Structure 1
């Protein structure tokens, strides 16, 4: 005596639920990995950006050769930068990461060779600081996060 298998509505429901559960699970995993590993870059015109990309790479290589890698810290809500960019003009723009506070333009005074102290204090909080050093024809731009 053989018993035949009947495919019922419950079997169909379980099959569809399992299928969509796997699809949704994979999509959620991929979306999570994508947002945690690469924040993305926004440009006004991607075609123009692609044409300028090699120039950006050359500028980055020239900046790296300068060796002006800055170390940024906040002392009493005043930014202090230590770098090998001696006798350079240092400026910065501090931006609040969430845009809750207005941008703060910062000028620095070189208090010792390679040590720059900000002329203004930052409001308390986390800031993303866009540093610029210029000495003659040499220029270097850096982005650092700091808590004031």
Structure 2
């Protein structure tokens, strides 16, 4: 066979180049798609300035230890009607409960809840919460004592 003729269906360097370019194009397209989905579901930074946050870290630890020393027990949950229920133990009567809810992923959504006390240390949110996954930051205040906790809801 001479160098100028080619058999029909022969795999050439041009075919290999097209396979490589096509393969890398698919990988790049998938990477760009996944990166855009990841960035779209991220709601921002945890702290604005990590250096400033590091300077407050020991203070945050001391506040957490002080709250733990109060001995308050808290068990959050959600009722069938969508209201958030918080069961407490050892919390003084008349304590005020407030919560900030945020969606951990997906659509950016925030809610603020206020609670009404019920008998036996139970507290019920004044408004129902949409179904789905939430992160709840609960604050309980009784006089000068403050307890803060975060949990999945």
TM-score category by the smaller chain?
0.5 to 0.7
In structure 2, what is the equivalent of residue 63 of structure 1?
Answer: 67
Provide the C-alpha distance between the structure 2 equivalents of 1:44 and 1:103, rounded to a whole number of angstroms.
19
Moved over 4 A (4+): none
Provide the C-alpha distance between the structure 2 equivalents of 1:137 and 1:128, rounded to a whole number of angstroms.
26
In structure 2, what is the equivalent of residue 78 of structure 1?
Answer: 83
* CA apart distance, 1:43: 2.2
User: TM-score under structure 1 normalisation?
Assistant: 0.66
Q: Cα 1:99–1:140, aligned 2, differ >3 Å: closer, same or farther?
A: farther
Deviations 1:91-135 (A, max 9, x none): 101111214152111100011252111000001111111111000
Q: Cα 1:42–1:95, aligned 2, differ >3 Å: closer, same or farther?
A: closer
In structure 2, what is the equivalent of residue 139 of structure 1?
Answer: 146
Q: Cα 1:100–1:42, aligned 2, differ >3 Å: closer, same or farther?
A: closer
- Name stretches of at least 5 consecutive residues in structure 1 with no aligned partner: 1-40
Q: Cα 1:93–1:99, aligned 2, differ >3 Å: closer, same or farther?
A: farther
Provide the C-alpha distance between the structure 2 equivalents of 1:97 and 1:50, rounded to a whole number of angstroms.
23
Higher Cα radius of gyration: 2
- Name stretches of at least 5 consecutive residues in structure 2 with no aligned partner: 1-44
Aligned positions of 1:1-148 closer than 5 A: 42-75=46-79, 76-84=81-89, 85-86=91-92, 87-100=94-107, 102-146=109-153
Deviations 1:5-24 (A, max 9, x none): xxxxxxxxxxxxxxxxxxxx
CA RMSD, Structure 1 to Structure 2 (Å): 1.7
Deviations 1:7-63 (A, max 9, x none): xxxxxxxxxxxxxxxxxxxxxxxxxxxxxxxxxx83222222222221111111100
User: TM-score under structure 2 normalisation?
Assistant: 0.64
- Tell me, what secondary structure is at the counterpart of 2:118? strand
Provide the C-alpha distance between the structure 2 equivalents of 1:118 and 1:91, rounded to a whole number of angstroms.
9
